[in-house]
């Protein structure tokens, strides 16, 4: 499921990170069943699905500090996901345009999450609160 245009990308961060996790799960299922494919797939699966779960945790945070902490963890997991995707690409483990599309999405998510965390840590209202 490659993105066709920016109109296909949800604005809501919870929806966007959930769809990112779904796409990661689908991509990991395509990796070769080699030692490298299995291990890198495990790492990518953990990091890629953790982005959305930490955004969900941030949404239910009990304090501003808790919200910022979970949002920053989500950002770190997005960056880690980008690393594993880049490794898949560089090691030529999978030739699929979804790899580069997911690298771009991980980059964008990390930037968005960074902005949300920084805004919240300054005591301002978060940019976009999910419904």
pLDDT band (50, 70, 90) for residue 131: very low
In degrees, to the nearest 5, what angle opens at C-alpha 110 toward C-alphas 104 and 112?
105
pLDDT band (50, 70, 90) for residue 10: low
Q: Which tokens sit at 118?
A: 């920084």
Q: Which tokens sit at 50?
A: 């953790």
pTM of the model: 0.86
Topology classification of domain 13-121: de novo design (two linked rop proteins) (1.20.1440)
Average pLDDT over residues 19-31: 98
Nearest to 111 by CA among 13, 23, 32: 13
- The pLDDT > 90 percentage for the chain reads 83
């Amino acid at each position: 499921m490659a993105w066709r245009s920016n109109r296909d990308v949800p604005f809501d961060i919870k929806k966007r990170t959930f769809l990112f996790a779904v796409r990661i799960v689908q991509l990991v299922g395509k990796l070769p069943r080699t030692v490298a494919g299995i291990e890198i797939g495990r790492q990518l699966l953990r990091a890629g699905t953790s982005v959305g779960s930490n955004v969900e945790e941030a949404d239910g945070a009990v304090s501003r500090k808790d919200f910022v902490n979970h949002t920053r963890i989500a950002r770190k997991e997005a960056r880690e996901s980008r690393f594993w995707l880049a490794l898949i690409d560089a090691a030529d483990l999978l030739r699929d345009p979804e790899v580069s599309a997911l690298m771009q999405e991980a980059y964008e998510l990390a930037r968005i999450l960074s902005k949300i965390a920084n805004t919240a840590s300054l005591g301002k209202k978060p940019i976009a609160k999910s419904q």
